[in-house]
Amino acid sequence: MFNNITIVGVGLISGSFALAMKKHGFVKNVIGVSRTKASEIKALELGLIDEALPLEEAIKKSDLIYVAIPVDATVPIMQQIMDALADNQIVVDAGSTKFVLCEAIKNHPKRKQFVATHPMWGTEYSGPEAAVHNAFAGRACVICDKEKSDKNIVAKVEKIYTTLGMNLVYMEAAAHDMHAAYVSHISHITSFALANTVLEKEKEEDAIFQLAGGGFESTVRLAKSNPAMWAPIFMQNRENVLDVLNEHISQLRKFKSALEKENMEFLNELMQNANKIKRIIK
Protein backbone atom coordinates (compact mmCIF):
# COMPACT_ATOMS: atom_id res chain seq x y z
CA MET A 1 0.00 0.00 0.00
CA PHE A 2 2.83 2.42 0.85
CA ASN A 3 6.34 2.79 -0.53
CA ASN A 4 7.59 4.75 2.48
CA ILE A 5 6.21 5.49 5.92
CA THR A 6 7.79 7.51 8.71
CA ILE A 7 7.46 6.74 12.39
CA VAL A 8 8.04 9.81 14.53
CA GLY A 9 9.35 8.33 17.74
CA VAL A 10 11.01 4.91 17.57
CA GLY A 11 9.70 3.37 20.77
CA LEU A 12 7.18 0.83 22.00
CA ILE A 13 4.09 1.81 19.98
CA SER A 14 5.72 3.13 16.84
CA GLY A 15 8.28 0.33 16.71
CA SER A 16 5.61 -2.32 17.13
CA PHE A 17 3.53 -0.56 14.46
CA ALA A 18 6.47 -0.61 12.06
CA LEU A 19 7.02 -4.33 12.64
CA ALA A 20 3.33 -5.02 12.01
CA MET A 21 3.25 -2.89 8.86
CA LYS A 22 6.18 -4.82 7.43
CA LYS A 23 4.78 -8.20 8.43
CA HIS A 24 1.45 -7.54 6.70
CA GLY A 25 3.01 -6.10 3.57
CA PHE A 26 1.73 -2.57 4.00
CA VAL A 27 5.10 -0.91 3.47
CA LYS A 28 8.43 -1.43 1.73
CA ASN A 29 10.55 1.11 3.62
CA VAL A 30 10.23 2.52 7.14
CA ILE A 31 11.92 5.81 8.03
CA GLY A 32 12.58 6.65 11.67
CA VAL A 33 12.69 10.08 13.30
CA SER A 34 13.97 10.29 16.85
CA ARG A 35 15.20 12.88 19.33
CA THR A 36 18.32 10.83 20.05
CA LYS A 37 20.95 9.25 17.86
CA ALA A 38 21.14 6.27 20.22
CA SER A 39 17.47 5.42 19.63
CA GLU A 40 17.92 5.71 15.87
CA ILE A 41 20.90 3.35 15.95
CA LYS A 42 19.09 0.82 18.14
CA ALA A 43 15.97 0.95 15.92
CA LEU A 44 18.14 0.28 12.85
CA GLU A 45 19.90 -2.61 14.60
CA LEU A 46 16.57 -4.17 15.58
CA GLY A 47 15.13 -3.80 12.09
CA LEU A 48 12.31 -1.51 13.20
CA ILE A 49 13.36 1.07 10.63
CA ASP A 50 15.30 0.94 7.38
CA GLU A 51 16.75 4.44 7.57
CA ALA A 52 16.85 7.41 9.94
CA LEU A 53 16.29 10.96 8.73
CA PRO A 54 15.53 14.42 10.12
CA LEU A 55 11.80 15.15 10.24
CA GLU A 56 11.75 17.55 7.28
CA GLU A 57 13.45 15.05 4.96
CA ALA A 58 11.34 12.16 6.25
CA ILE A 59 8.09 13.98 5.53
CA LYS A 60 9.10 14.66 1.92
CA LYS A 61 9.73 10.94 1.28
CA SER A 62 6.68 9.51 3.06
CA ASP A 63 3.21 8.41 2.07
CA LEU A 64 2.15 8.06 5.71
CA ILE A 65 3.56 9.67 8.86
CA TYR A 66 2.81 7.89 12.16
CA VAL A 67 3.38 9.99 15.29
CA ALA A 68 3.89 8.23 18.62
CA ILE A 69 5.73 10.56 20.99
CA PRO A 70 4.89 12.09 24.41
CA VAL A 71 1.66 14.07 24.11
CA ASP A 72 3.20 17.38 25.17
CA ALA A 73 5.55 17.18 22.19
CA THR A 74 2.88 15.98 19.76
CA VAL A 75 1.11 19.31 19.18
CA PRO A 76 4.13 21.33 17.95
CA ILE A 77 5.49 18.38 15.96
CA MET A 78 2.08 17.75 14.40
CA GLN A 79 1.75 21.39 13.37
CA GLN A 80 5.17 21.19 11.75
CA ILE A 81 4.16 18.03 9.90
CA MET A 82 0.80 19.42 8.75
CA ASP A 83 2.43 22.59 7.41
CA ALA A 84 4.78 20.47 5.28
CA LEU A 85 2.22 17.99 3.91
CA ALA A 86 1.61 17.42 0.23
CA ASP A 87 -1.97 16.73 -0.84
CA ASN A 88 -1.56 12.93 -1.11
CA GLN A 89 0.02 12.30 2.31
CA ILE A 90 -1.59 10.83 5.44
CA VAL A 91 -0.84 11.61 9.09
CA VAL A 92 -1.88 9.38 12.01
CA ASP A 93 -1.13 9.80 15.70
CA ALA A 94 -1.24 7.22 18.49
CA GLY A 95 -1.40 9.42 21.58
CA SER A 96 -3.24 8.60 24.80
CA THR A 97 -4.98 11.99 24.87
CA LYS A 98 -6.87 13.44 21.96
CA PHE A 99 -8.79 16.64 22.76
CA VAL A 100 -5.84 19.06 23.04
CA LEU A 101 -4.31 17.83 19.79
CA CYS A 102 -7.57 17.82 17.84
CA GLU A 103 -8.38 21.34 19.05
CA ALA A 104 -4.92 22.62 18.11
CA ILE A 105 -5.22 21.57 14.46
CA LYS A 106 -8.98 21.77 13.91
CA ASN A 107 -8.69 24.75 11.55
CA HIS A 108 -5.58 23.62 9.70
CA PRO A 109 -6.15 23.53 5.92
CA LYS A 110 -4.77 19.97 5.81
CA ARG A 111 -6.91 18.73 8.74
CA LYS A 112 -8.72 16.16 6.58
CA GLN A 113 -5.43 14.36 5.95
CA PHE A 114 -5.04 13.62 9.67
CA VAL A 115 -6.63 10.70 11.54
CA ALA A 116 -6.62 10.78 15.35
CA THR A 117 -6.20 7.27 16.75
CA HIS A 118 -5.39 5.58 20.03
CA PRO A 119 -4.42 1.90 19.82
CA MET A 120 -5.29 0.71 23.34
CA TRP A 121 -2.21 -1.37 23.94
CA GLY A 122 1.01 -0.82 25.81
CA THR A 123 3.43 -2.19 28.36
CA GLU A 124 5.49 -0.68 31.15
CA TYR A 125 8.55 -0.68 28.89
CA SER A 126 9.79 2.03 26.53
CA GLY A 127 12.34 2.60 23.80
CA PRO A 128 13.09 0.67 20.61
CA GLU A 129 13.91 -2.49 22.59
CA ALA A 130 10.31 -2.57 23.86
CA ALA A 131 8.79 -3.05 20.40
CA VAL A 132 7.25 -6.49 19.80
CA HIS A 133 5.59 -8.48 17.04
CA ASN A 134 1.79 -8.97 17.01
CA ALA A 135 1.33 -6.22 19.59
CA PHE A 136 -2.09 -5.00 18.51
CA ALA A 137 -3.99 -8.20 17.80
CA GLY A 138 -7.20 -8.48 19.80
CA ARG A 139 -6.96 -4.94 21.19
CA ALA A 140 -9.23 -1.95 20.72
CA CYS A 141 -8.26 1.07 18.64
CA VAL A 142 -10.17 4.30 19.11
CA ILE A 143 -10.60 6.58 16.10
CA CYS A 144 -11.60 10.08 17.16
CA ASP A 145 -13.59 12.72 15.28
CA LYS A 146 -13.80 10.47 12.23
CA GLU A 147 -16.06 12.86 10.33
CA LYS A 148 -13.34 15.54 10.32
CA SER A 149 -11.00 13.34 8.28
CA ASP A 150 -11.24 12.47 4.58
CA LYS A 151 -13.35 9.31 4.30
CA ASN A 152 -10.93 7.61 1.89
CA ILE A 153 -8.02 8.28 4.23
CA VAL A 154 -10.03 6.97 7.19
CA ALA A 155 -10.81 3.83 5.19
CA LYS A 156 -7.08 3.22 4.61
CA VAL A 157 -6.29 3.69 8.31
CA GLU A 158 -9.19 1.42 9.27
CA LYS A 159 -7.88 -1.28 6.92
CA ILE A 160 -4.43 -1.07 8.52
CA TYR A 161 -5.71 -1.43 12.07
CA THR A 162 -8.21 -4.18 11.29
CA THR A 163 -5.55 -6.14 9.38
CA LEU A 164 -3.37 -5.81 12.48
CA GLY A 165 -6.23 -7.51 14.36
CA MET A 166 -7.65 -4.49 16.18
CA ASN A 167 -11.29 -3.81 17.04
CA LEU A 168 -12.31 -0.30 16.02
CA VAL A 169 -14.17 2.06 18.35
CA TYR A 170 -15.35 5.55 17.36
CA MET A 171 -15.57 8.49 19.77
CA GLU A 172 -15.36 12.24 19.90
CA ALA A 173 -11.98 13.42 21.22
CA ALA A 174 -13.43 14.82 24.46
CA ALA A 175 -15.32 11.59 25.18
CA HIS A 176 -12.20 9.55 24.50
CA ASP A 177 -10.20 11.53 27.07
CA MET A 178 -12.91 11.09 29.70
CA HIS A 179 -13.14 7.33 29.21
CA ALA A 180 -9.35 6.95 28.98
CA ALA A 181 -9.06 8.61 32.39
CA TYR A 182 -11.43 5.97 33.84
CA VAL A 183 -9.91 2.84 32.31
CA SER A 184 -6.27 3.70 31.75
CA HIS A 185 -4.94 6.85 33.35
CA ILE A 186 -6.26 6.12 36.86
CA SER A 187 -4.67 2.66 36.71
CA HIS A 188 -1.27 4.22 36.15
CA ILE A 189 -1.66 6.82 38.89
CA THR A 190 -2.81 4.11 41.32
CA SER A 191 0.18 1.97 40.42
CA PHE A 192 2.64 4.84 40.87
CA ALA A 193 1.05 5.73 44.22
CA LEU A 194 1.06 2.14 45.49
CA ALA A 195 4.71 1.71 44.55
CA ASN A 196 5.56 4.92 46.43
CA THR A 197 3.54 3.70 49.42
CA VAL A 198 5.40 0.40 49.61
CA LEU A 199 8.79 2.04 49.07
CA GLU A 200 8.03 4.54 51.84
CA LYS A 201 6.72 2.06 54.41
CA GLU A 202 8.76 -1.04 53.60
CA LYS A 203 12.39 -0.04 53.95
CA GLU A 204 13.81 -3.53 53.45
CA GLU A 205 14.05 -4.07 49.71
CA ASP A 206 14.86 -7.75 50.20
CA ALA A 207 11.51 -8.26 51.92
CA ILE A 208 9.66 -6.67 49.03
CA PHE A 209 11.51 -8.90 46.58
CA GLN A 210 10.99 -12.09 48.58
CA LEU A 211 7.35 -11.59 49.57
CA ALA A 212 5.85 -9.81 46.57
CA GLY A 213 3.32 -12.17 45.00
CA GLY A 214 1.57 -12.18 41.68
CA GLY A 215 -1.15 -9.82 42.85
CA PHE A 216 1.30 -7.18 43.99
CA GLU A 217 3.43 -7.54 40.87
CA SER A 218 0.47 -7.13 38.52
CA THR A 219 -0.83 -4.12 40.47
CA VAL A 220 2.46 -2.20 40.56
CA ARG A 221 3.71 -3.31 37.13
CA LEU A 222 2.57 -0.02 35.60
CA ALA A 223 4.71 1.92 38.09
CA LYS A 224 7.67 0.97 35.90
CA SER A 225 6.20 3.09 33.08
CA ASN A 226 8.15 6.03 31.71
CA PRO A 227 7.37 9.30 33.59
CA ALA A 228 8.36 11.32 30.51
CA MET A 229 5.39 9.77 28.74
CA TRP A 230 2.86 9.68 31.56
CA ALA A 231 3.32 13.05 33.27
CA PRO A 232 2.23 14.91 30.09
CA ILE A 233 -0.76 12.57 29.71
CA PHE A 234 -1.92 13.30 33.26
CA MET A 235 -1.48 17.04 32.78
CA GLN A 236 -3.22 17.19 29.39
CA ASN A 237 -6.14 15.20 30.75
CA ARG A 238 -6.01 16.89 34.15
CA GLU A 239 -9.74 17.59 34.66
CA ASN A 240 -10.84 14.05 33.82
CA VAL A 241 -8.02 12.50 35.83
CA LEU A 242 -8.86 14.66 38.86
CA ASP A 243 -12.52 13.64 38.57
CA VAL A 244 -11.77 9.91 38.62
CA LEU A 245 -9.00 10.37 41.20
CA ASN A 246 -11.44 12.07 43.59
CA GLU A 247 -13.84 9.14 43.21
CA HIS A 248 -10.99 6.68 43.78
CA ILE A 249 -9.97 8.49 46.96
CA SER A 250 -13.60 8.37 48.09
CA GLN A 251 -13.67 4.60 47.57
CA LEU A 252 -10.41 4.18 49.52
CA ARG A 253 -11.93 6.17 52.38
CA LYS A 254 -14.84 3.72 52.50
CA PHE A 255 -12.45 0.80 52.95
CA LYS A 256 -10.56 2.79 55.59
CA SER A 257 -13.77 3.56 57.45
CA ALA A 258 -14.90 -0.08 57.38
CA LEU A 259 -11.59 -1.16 58.90
CA GLU A 260 -11.48 1.62 61.50
CA LYS A 261 -14.99 0.78 62.67
CA GLU A 262 -14.39 -2.99 62.41
CA ASN A 263 -17.46 -3.15 60.18
CA MET A 264 -17.16 -6.55 58.52
CA GLU A 265 -20.56 -6.25 56.85
CA PHE A 266 -19.65 -2.98 55.10
CA LEU A 267 -16.24 -4.36 54.11
CA ASN A 268 -17.88 -7.37 52.48
CA GLU A 269 -20.43 -5.14 50.78
CA LEU A 270 -17.67 -3.02 49.24
CA MET A 271 -15.87 -6.08 47.86
CA GLN A 272 -19.05 -7.75 46.61
CA ASN A 273 -19.92 -4.59 44.73
CA ALA A 274 -16.43 -4.57 43.23
CA ASN A 275 -16.95 -8.18 42.11
CA LYS A 276 -19.52 -6.91 39.60
CA ILE A 277 -16.55 -6.07 37.36
CA LYS A 278 -16.53 -9.81 36.51
CA ARG A 279 -19.49 -9.14 34.21
CA ILE A 280 -17.29 -6.87 32.11
CA ILE A 281 -13.78 -8.25 32.50
CA LYS A 282 -13.48 -12.02 32.38
**What would the pLDDT profile of 55-74 be if each residue is shown by its tens digit?**
999 999 999 999 999 999 99
* Sequence-separated (6 or more) residues with CB below 8 Å from residue 169: 140, 141, 142, 143
> Per residue, what are the HEC states of the chain?
CEEEEEEECCCHHHHHHHHHHHHCCCEEEEEEECCCHHHHHHHHHHCCCCEECCHHHHHHHCCEEEECCCHHHHHHHHHHHHHHCCCCCEEEECCCCCHHHHHHCCCCCCHHHEEEEEECCCCCCCCHHHCCCCCCCCCEEEEECHHHCCHHHHHHHHHHHHHCCCEEEEECHHHHHHHHHHHHHHHHHHHHHHHHHHHHHCCCHHHHHHHCCHHHHHHHHHHHCCHHHHHHHHHHCHHHHHHHHHHHHHHHHHHHHHHHCCCHHHHHHHHHHHHHHHHCCC
Per-residue pLDDT of the chain (282 residues; tens, 9 = 90+): 899 999 999 999 999 999 999 999 999 999 999 999 999 999 999 999 999 999 999 999 999 999 999 999 999 999 999 999 999 999 999 999 999 999 999 999 999 999 999 999 998 989 999 999 999 999 999 999 999 999 999 999 999 999 999 999 999 999 999 999 999 999 999 999 999 988 887 776 676 666 666 677 777 889 999 999 999 999 999 999 999 999 999 999 999 999 999 999 999 999 999 999 888 877
* Sequence-separated (6 or more) residues with CB below 8 Å from residue 139: 119, 120, 121, 165, 166, 167
Domains and CATH numbers, the chain: 2-171 (3.40.50.720), 176-279 (1.10.3660.10)
- pLDDT value at residue 281: 77
In this structure, the number of other CB atoms found within 10 A of the CB of residue 252 comes to 11
In this structure, the number of other CB atoms found within 10 A of the CB of residue 203 comes to 8
- pLDDT value at residue 211: 67
Q: What is d(CA 77, CA 73) in angstroms, rounded to the nearest whole number?
A: 6
